[in-house]
Amino acid sequence: MRAGVRLAVDVGTVRIGVARSDATGALAVPLDAVRAGASSVEDVAALVREWEAIEVIVGLPLSMSGAEGKAAAAARGWAATLAERIEVPVRLVDERLSTVQAQRALQAGGRSTRQSRSLIDSASAVMVLQADLDREAAQGTMSDADPRSGEGTSA
């Protein structure tokens, strides 16, 4: 397992959910979401610098069939823009069902859907990041995709 903080983001149209790992790369925790829009890439780039992240994982919202739609194209574009502004690798990771899992976890914790709206994006980023951390710990490697492509296949 590589040591160092990783950040994960769940790109949405209203908010960008953000999570970070601990320095050992074992545990994902939520950070405050950032507002989607013109400053969102710079806001996340600032978090990369603040936490001295070794990589950023961007959730890729594929359909259940694995096809890419508008949301996946938006996430790819956002990730490409971020990659131009930071010095660490940016990987895309399949995030199918992460939002559903996050919402169920929040509801299990006693939060209604209405109470969860402001938390769901960062909770989804936690789900994506924790799945990737767990996969890396189990395999002892980075993503099985070509790291130069910026795309991973886990989560």
Mean pLDDT over all residues of the chain? Answer: 82
The whole-number average pLDDT for the span 42-61 is 97
Which residue shows structure tokens 């940016």? 90
Supply the pLDDT for residue 150. 46
CB 13 within 8 A of CB 120: no
For residues 20, 135, 119, 82, the Cα torsion angle rounded to the nearest 10 degrees is: 50
Homologous superfamily of the 6-137 domain (CATH): YqgF/RNase H-like domain (3.30.420.140)
Distances (CA, A) of 136 to 2, 5, 88, 141: 9, 14, 18, 5
Supply the pLDDT for residue 72. 92
Supply the pLDDT for residue 143. 47
Supply the pLDDT for residue 99. 58
State the DSSP string of the chain.
---S-EEEEEE-SSEEEEEEE-TTS--EEEEEEEE-STTHHHHHHHHHHHHT-SEEEEEE---TTS---HHHHHHHHHHHHHHHH-SS-EEEEE-TTHHHHHHHHHHHTT--HHHHHHHHHHHHHHHHHHHHHHHHHHHTSS-SS-GGGTB----
What does pTM read for this prediction? 0.78
Q: At 129, give phi and psi (nearest 5°).
A: -65, -45
pLDDT digits (tens, 9 = 90+) for 86-137: 999 999 998 865 555 655 665 666 666 555 556 777 888 998 999 899 888 8
User: Measured between alpha carbons, how far is 100 from 98 in angstroms, rounded to an integer?
Assistant: 5
First vs last Cα of the chain: how many Å apart? 17
